[in-house]
Amino acid sequence: MFLRLLLSPTIGRSALHRCPAARTTMSSFATSSNAPPPTPSFANSRLTPQALSEYYEAQFDSKGIEKFSVRDPASGAEIAALDLHGAAEAKIAVDRAHDAFRNEWNPNRVTAQARYDALVRWERLIRENARDLATLLTLENGKPISEATIEVAGGADSVAWFAEEARRIDGDVMQGAKRRQRVMVLKQPVGVVGAITPWNFPFSMITRKIGPALAAGCTVVVKPSEETPLSAIALTYLAHEAGFPKGGVQIVCGDAKAIGAELTGSSKVRKIGFTGSTAVGKLLMAQSASSIKRISLELGGNAPFIVFEDADLDRAALALLGSGLRNAGQTCICADKVLVHDDVHDAFAEKLAEKMARLRLGHGLDKSTTHGPLINAAALDKVEAHVTEAVEAGATLVVGGSRANPGEGLEGHFFQPTLLTDVKVDMSCFREENFGPVLSLHRFKTDEEALEIANDTEYGLAAYFYTSSMRRSWTISEGLEYGMVGCNDVAVTGVTTPFGGWKQSGLGCEHSKYGIEEFLQKKAVFLTF
Ligand code: ADP
């Protein structure tokens, strides 16, 4: 199957023949599990797509309204059909959240301990239902169940972290300008938060926004991606089960533009937390300007991955596969532009090709699957266009390069894990966020050249480099214009550390001791005696 797909008409044969590695890899690359999609099962009957749809729709009185489909990206099958809500429902949700902030979740009535207790109950419910939540996540997003399980556990960790942070919100006492004056700096919740989240991490992008918001004493209206609303509804359901007031955690999905306009335009919403594309981030920022809302943005990336000549090549190759192909390449911190020192370029490419031969495309619920589908047809078109453009402009296709159909019943949006060499810096696959399973290799000769190419982008989210030199560990770490830098590591996220971008990759940060500050405002109280 791989041979047939690799020689698809979109990619010319001549490009393949320029690369010896392509010929050695073709026959051993297994893309197919050849198994029909497994039937999902749920231990908790309240967490099935059907039960969650009903839970969501019971929030609003919207009988007879148009529906939108939630589909399994691996098979194209409809998982759920939800009411397509818009500005009217967003306004209702904001009003409820505003009311809850004044009443049931009023920071003057709810103690830090009570917020901690509720968050811990929510965390427990997430962990108890982790298997069902991971199944839902895989069904609507397509990622392998192992990755979905890690994401759910990470979401629970996030809630646990912010539960603790709820008890650590403190202030300062400062000297006043007068002799008999002291000034207290209080930290108070900003109020209603609008959280707009993407489909690539449908679970953890929500917990890292709702967790700190609730811990700080805010209430929240979540607008998840319409591609993956079920994980968000499940989280909302479990939050209500954990004892948060219904108005305190609201969810609305459907017409993204209309809901976004309502959340950003409402004077009752005091903060927007967004993860998604830079284009939509700019729009939300502009829309929020009229009411001077606080805004946190976690936007696109164009992550460099630099392999110096003194790097441990096996370790770097394994890390690159983990970073560049994670979630089929659909993470904002995926390595997009791989810079490899001329001396080790061929050996490194060979190692990558060897390891990629062991990857398996398939349905995420099939345990043998290492890589699932892309989220939708538009994503598939974009990745294919990037690869085609690169090969036509002289890049060498070493592995993959085409759409795939890995088995019976899997007519979804699959693209083969792909390795390109001889990629030029102006090719789209290199200079744009690719969001597909594509590794694009470019040779370099000096540290200065690598750093200049790495920084030559409007993005600044994550960057990685591999070296055994202590000097480079510092000079390159300090020279990279990025919010997160991995030196001999690609694991640059965690609850204890700040996550946020430089330049057009974002504003503010999530997680760590800094994360909760985004949901608090300072008040100076002058006590004169
Ligand atoms: P992606 O390209 O990764 O889907 P988007 O920025 O388009 O990233 O989407 C991220 C989130 O932003 C999703 O929840 C999506 O529905 C939402 N979104 C998209 N367009 C708008 C908009 N005009 N206003 C508000 N939210 C939007």
d(CA 187, CA 121): 25
Main-chain phi, psi angles of 370, to 5 degrees? -100, -25
Angstrom distance (rounded) from CA 357 to CA 416: 11
Please tell me the predicted confidence (pLDDT) of residue 397. Answer: 98
293-328 b/e (C-beta count within 10 Å ≥ 16 → b): bbbbbbbbbbbbbbbbbebebeebbebbbebbbbbb
Q: Is 280 in the pocket of ligand 1 (CB under 6 A)?
A: yes
Give residue 277 CA to ligand 1 midpoint distance, Å.
Answer: 7
**May I ask the CATH class of domain 45-299+505-528?**
alpha beta
Task: List pLDDT tens digits, range 93-148.
Answer: 999 999 999 999 999 999 999 999 999 999 999 999 999 999 999 999 999 999 99
**Nearest CA to 235 among 98, 131, 133?**
133
Ligand 1 centroid, distance to 260 Cα (angstroms) = 9
User: CATH 3.40.309.10: does it fit domain 2-30+301-495?
Assistant: yes
Rounded to whole angstroms, the Cα distance separating 153 from 31 reads: 28
Catalytic residues: 298
For 516-529, the DSSP string reads GGGGEEEEEEEEE-
Please count the other Cβ atoms lying within 10 Å of the Cβ belonging to residue 522: 11
Query: Residue 32's pLDDT is what?
Result: 52
SS (H, E, C) 200-223: CCCCHHHHHHHHHHHHHCCEEEEE
Three-class SS of residue 484?
strand
- Pocket lining: 228 vs ligand 1, CB cutoff 6 Å: no
Condensed to tens digits (0 to 9), the pLDDT of residues 386-428 reads: 999 999 999 999 999 999 999 999 999 999 999 999 999 999 9
Question: Is the pLDDT at 6 greater than 50, yes or no?
Answer: no
Q: Whose CA is nearest to atom 7 of ligand 1?
A: 277
For residue 11, pLDDT beyond 70: no
Q: What is the pLDDT of residues 362-377, one digit of tens each?
A: 999 999 999 999 999 9
Which atom in ligand 1 lies closest to the alpha carbon of residue 375?
4
Nearest Cα to Cα of residue 96 among 272, 244, 247 = 247
List the domain boundaries for the chain. Answer: 2-30+301-495, 45-299+505-528
Give the Å distance between the CA of 284 and the centre of ligand 1: 10
Q: What is the pTM of this model?
A: 0.94
Residue 24 pLDDT: 34
**Cα-to-centroid distance, 198 and ligand 1 (Å):** 7
279 Cα nearest atom in ligand 1: 6
Q: Is the pLDDT of residue 29 over 80?
A: no
pLDDT beyond 70 at 1 = no
Mutate to test the pocket of ligand 1, among 68, 140, 196 (most ligand atoms within 8 A of CB): 196
Which helix (H) or strand (E) covers residue 463, if one does? strand 462-466
pLDDT in the model for residue 518:
96
> Does ligand 1 come within 6 angstroms of the Cβ of 369?
no
Q: Using alpha carbons only, what angle is made at residue 371 by residues 432 and 429, rounded to the nearest 5 degrees? A: 15
Q: pLDDT at position 62, please? A: 76
Take residue 140 and report the two structure tokens written for it. Answer: 């609507």
- Residue among 108, 71, 66, 110 at smallest CA distance from 89: 66
Q: Tell whether the model's pLDDT for residue 8 goes beyond 50.
A: no
86 lines ligand 1 (CB under 6 A): no
Ligand 1 center to residue 276 CA distance, Å? 6
Relative to the CA of 223, which ligand 1 atom is closest?
A: 14
pLDDT at 5 over 50: no
